[in-house]
């Protein structure tokens, strides 16, 4: 077999002069066994000023990332699927974890990479502040269950004492203190010790998954019949298939020169909101009007700066709990956009302005006078890529020629439930693909052309089954291949 040194993607010829070439393959195959990069015929040809000699760099502008993704050539794996394939999963949130779990159920090993310094889980985030400790769920607050497959997971968590129903009063709070409680059904579930332990629990169920954390995968390259991943130039492993279980700017950059133009294009269509999370603790109960005395969580209406507030102390430790009251407050998506800054380095002046506006928002919602709320602890975080606002309404995307897939909440909506369903569906699909031997890739490619639709729901996502909740009904019909 002819083995050529790998040609870096940055030296690929412009698309109007397509050539096919071998980038190396070490698997024996009688019929033309090679991985090739082939031009993406769906895209218009690029000019000669294409990405000739520029090195991939994470400091690139958005426009150069766009150009790169559209001009890159499609990688085509033709090596046979090995008997014991291994999958690389980049992202250890709900979707990536559930994907690893369901791959394992089908006997497939994986390595899961996640950037989390404090733990796995992504937007299943719980923050504990010592020494008291103060506890805040600082992303997902509660979830509903509509799908039987997700219900199986939740039943197990429930039996293991990890989740329970949130019985506290939740509703819609309009500016001035007008409150409409939500009916008790559908049940609302919360993590008994916060949301993050659910991630640890999924991990504890698996024995065929190698977790690498904290690890920020910065390069994804097809080479020698496999996907090679690197963190800042350091090799982190090679895989028979790769799964992107995260989204946003980071994923766009990772995909920009990976040899997956169709996946890259779909990912780039995704639009995400920004949401500020303000965690505050008070050494006394909030001075609520009488009608709101039992309120534990509220979707807020008619206030510019705030869309949600929840008493995490009462939610996690019950209505009779003592000690400081910890509240998680979320901004509206509009306020998040108007006050967006780099989330890694929030200027003090912005932090102060945002905190003040959000506390005022809570006071306005409760009908309290301004500057009455004086937390003894506060912490602000910006979720720069918080929630999807559009979706292709398909459980996952899979490029069988490139042996690469995407899972995540945004494929179906914006909730923990759909994130889990997406991970499950992709795992089952890849397992079926491996089982097929990989010889008919066209039969297994999914979601590479789907149009995106705007998503409806609350600013902090969807809660399937909740009153006033509008979810694409057709997504339910698109549950693919969930047999285990
Ligand atoms: C403010 C807020 C409130 C929410 N409230 C609710 C709610 O109440 N109920 C509900 O059901 N849903 C809620 N959601 C939505 C819910 O949290 C998400 O739908 C779900 O957690 C998404 O899971 P995921 O696996 O798709 O993505 P994520 O949880 O985002 O997981 C992606 C993971 O990939 C990692 N990663 C990214 N890039 C790399 C890289 N290059 N290398 C390695 N790892 C990488 C990230 O660190 C992250 O851990 C909320 C979300 C937000 C932001």
Our answer on whether the CB atom of 292 is closer than 6 Å to any ligand 1 atom is no
pLDDT of residue 37: 55
Mutate to test the pocket of ligand 1, among 122, 219, 312, 417 (most ligand atoms within 8 A of CB): 122
* Nearest one of 68, 70, 75, 35 to 52, comparing CA atoms: 68
The single residue listed with the structure tokens 């991939």 is: 56
Q: What CA dihedral angle connects 67, 69, 72 and 78, to 10 degrees? A: -170
Q: What is the pLDDT of residues 264-274, one digit of tens each?
A: 999 999 999 99
- Based on the fold, state whether residues 240 and 256 are members of the same structural domain: yes
Determine phi and psi for 82, rounding to 5 degrees.
Answer: -70, 165
- Based on the fold, state whether residues 188 and 284 are members of the same structural domain: yes
- Based on the fold, state whether residues 278 and 357 are members of the same structural domain: yes
- Based on the fold, state whether residues 230 and 351 are members of the same structural domain: no
Residue 169 lies in a domain: yes
Identify the band that residue 294 occupies on the pLDDT scale cut at 50, 70 and 90: very high
- What is the DSSP-derived secondary structure letter of residue 102? H
Our answer on whether the CB atom of 137 is closer than 6 Å to any ligand 1 atom is no
Residue with CA at minimum distance from ligand 1 atom 6: 140
Residue 18 lies in a domain: no
Ligand 1: which atom is nearest the Cα of residue 254?
A: 41
Q: How far is the CA of 34 from the centre of ligand 1 (A)?
A: 36
Residue 48 lies in a domain: no
Q: In what order do the strands lie in the sheet with 295-301?
A: 178-181, 169-174, 295-301, 306-311, 325-331, 275-282, 377-383
**Chain mean pLDDT for the chain:** 85
Q: How many domains does the chain have?
A: 2
CATH number of the domain within which 113 lies: 3.50.50.60
Question: How far apart are the C-alpha atoms of 169 and 183, rounded to whole Å?
Answer: 9
Mutate to test the pocket of ligand 1, among 58, 90, 91 (most ligand atoms within 8 A of CB): 91
Our answer on whether the CB atom of 167 is closer than 6 Å to any ligand 1 atom is no
Asked whether the predicted pLDDT for residue 39 surpasses 50, the reply is no
Identify the band that residue 38 occupies on the pLDDT scale cut at 50, 70 and 90: low
The single residue listed with the structure tokens 């990405």 is: 51
Q: How far is the CA of 98 from the centre of ligand 1 (A)?
A: 13
Q: How far is the CA of 481 from the centre of ligand 1 (A)?
A: 24
- Based on the fold, state whether residues 263 and 394 are members of the same structural domain: yes
Our answer on whether the CB atom of 277 is closer than 6 Å to any ligand 1 atom is yes
pLDDT of residue 177: 96
Beta carbons of 189 and 144 less than 8 angstroms apart: yes
- Based on the fold, state whether residues 204 and 246 are members of the same structural domain: yes
Q: How far is the CA of 122 from the centre of ligand 1 (A)?
A: 5
Question: How far apart are the C-alpha atoms of 9 and 120, rounded to whole Å?
Answer: 32
Q: What angle do CA 84, 448, 61 make, to 5 degrees?
A: 100
Strands 109-113 and 209-212, by their bridges, are parallel
CA distances (Å), origin 154, targets 145, 295, 460? 8, 25, 21
Asked whether the predicted pLDDT for residue 111 surpasses 60, the reply is yes
Q: In what order do the strands lie in the sheet with 86-90?
A: 209-212, 109-113, 86-90, 241-244, 404-406, 397-399
For residue 266, what is the enclosing H or E element? helix 261-269
Which of the residue ranges 168-177, 218-227, 297-306, 473-482 would you say has the lowest mean pLDDT?
Answer: 473-482
Q: Which two tokens stand for residue 137?
A: 């769920």
- Based on the fold, state whether residues 308 and 376 are members of the same structural domain: yes
Asked whether the predicted pLDDT for residue 481 surpasses 60, the reply is no
Asked whether the predicted pLDDT for residue 9 surpasses 60, the reply is no
- Based on the fold, state whether residues 267 and 359 are members of the same structural domain: no
Asked whether the predicted pLDDT for residue 469 surpasses 50, the reply is no
DSSP 189-223: EEEBTBSHHHHHHHHHT-SSEEEE-S----EEEEE
- Based on the fold, state whether residues 311 and 188 are members of the same structural domain: yes
- Based on the fold, state whether residues 254 and 318 are members of the same structural domain: no
Residue 424 lies in a domain: yes
Residue 10 lies in a domain: no
Partners of 241 in beta bridges: 87
Residue 378 lies in a domain: yes
Give the list of residues 6+ apart from residue 75 with CB closer than 8 angstroms, or none. 23, 35, 36, 37, 222, 258, 259, 260, 401, 402
Q: Which two tokens stand for residue 410?
A: 């945004």
Q: Which two tokens stand for residue 87?
A: 């999958």
Q: What is the pLDDT of residues 122-145, one digit of tens each?
A: 999 999 999 888 999 999 999 999
Q: How far is the CA of 123 from the centre of ligand 1 (A)?
A: 3
- Based on the fold, state whether residues 217 and 91 are members of the same structural domain: yes
pLDDT, mean of residues 173-191: 95
Q: Which domain holds residue 400?
A: 73-118+200-271+389-477
Residue 177 lies in a domain: yes
CATH number of the domain within which 146 lies: 3.90.660.10
- Based on the fold, state whether residues 277 and 267 are members of the same structural domain: no
Residue 259 lies in a domain: yes
Q: What is the pLDDT of residues 359-417, one digit of tens each?
A: 999 999 999 999 999 999 999 999 999 999 999 999 999 999 999 999 999 999 999 99
pLDDT of residue 320: 76
């Amino acid at each position: 077999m002819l083995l050529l040194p790998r040609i870096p993607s940055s030296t690929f010829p412009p698309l109007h002069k397509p050539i096919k070439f071998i980038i190396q393959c070490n698997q024996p195959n009688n019929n033309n066994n090679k991985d090739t990069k082939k031009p993406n015929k769906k895209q218009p040809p690029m000019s000669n000023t294409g990405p000739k000699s520029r090195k991939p760099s994470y400091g690139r502008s958005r426009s150069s990332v766009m150009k790169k993704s559209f001009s890159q050539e499609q990688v085509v794996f033709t090596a046979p699927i090995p008997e014991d394939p291994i999958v690389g999963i980049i992202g250890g949130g709900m979707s990536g974890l559930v994907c690893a779990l369901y791959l394992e159920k089908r006997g497939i090993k994986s390595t899961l990479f996640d950037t989390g310094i404090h733990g796995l889980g992504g937007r299943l985030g719980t923050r504990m502040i010592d020494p008291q400790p103060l506890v805040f769920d600082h992303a997902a607050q509660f979830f509903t269950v509509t799908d039987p497959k997700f219900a199986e997971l939740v039943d197990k968590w429930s039996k293991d004492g990890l989740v329970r129903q949130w019985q506290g009063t939740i509703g819609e709070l309009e500016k001035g203190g007008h409150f409409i409680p939500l009916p008790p059904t559908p049940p609302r579930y919360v993590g008994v010790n916060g949301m993050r332990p659910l991630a640890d629990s999924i991990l504890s169920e698996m024995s065929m998954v190698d977790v690498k954390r904290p690890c920020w995968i910065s390069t994804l390259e097809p080479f020698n019949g496999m996907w090679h991943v690197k963190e800042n130039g350091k090799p982190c492993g090679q895989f028979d298939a790769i799964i992107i279980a995260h989204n946003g700017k980071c994923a766009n950059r990772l995909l920009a020169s990976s040899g997956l133009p169709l996946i890259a294009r779909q990912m780039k269509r995704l639009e995400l909101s920004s949401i500020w999370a303000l965690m505050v603790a008070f050494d006394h109960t909030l001075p609520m009007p009488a009608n709101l005395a039992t309120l534990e969580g509220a979707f807020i209406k008619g206030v510019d700066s705030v869309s949600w507030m929840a008493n995490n102390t009462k939610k996690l430790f019950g209505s009779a709990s003592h000690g400081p009251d910890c509240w998680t407050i979320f901004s509206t998506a509009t306020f998040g956009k108007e006050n967006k800054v780099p989330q890694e380095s929030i200027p003090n002046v912005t932090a102060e302005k945002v905190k003040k506006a959000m506390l005022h928002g809570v006071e306005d919602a409760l009908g309290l006078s301004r500057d009455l709320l004086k937390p003894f602890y506060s912490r602000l975080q910006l979720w720069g890529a918080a929630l999807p606002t559009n979706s292709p309404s398909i459980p996952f995307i899979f490029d069988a020629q490139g042996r690469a897939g995407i899972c995540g909440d945004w494929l179906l909506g914006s909730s923990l439930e759909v994130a889990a369903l997406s991970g499950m569906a992709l795992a089952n699909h890849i397992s079926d693909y491996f089982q097929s031997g990989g010889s008919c890739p066209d039969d297994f490619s999914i979601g590479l052309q789907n149009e995106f639709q705007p998503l409806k729901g609350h600013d902090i996502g969807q809660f399937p089954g909740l009153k006033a909740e509008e979810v694409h009904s057709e997504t339910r019909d698109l549950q693919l291949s969930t047999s285990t």
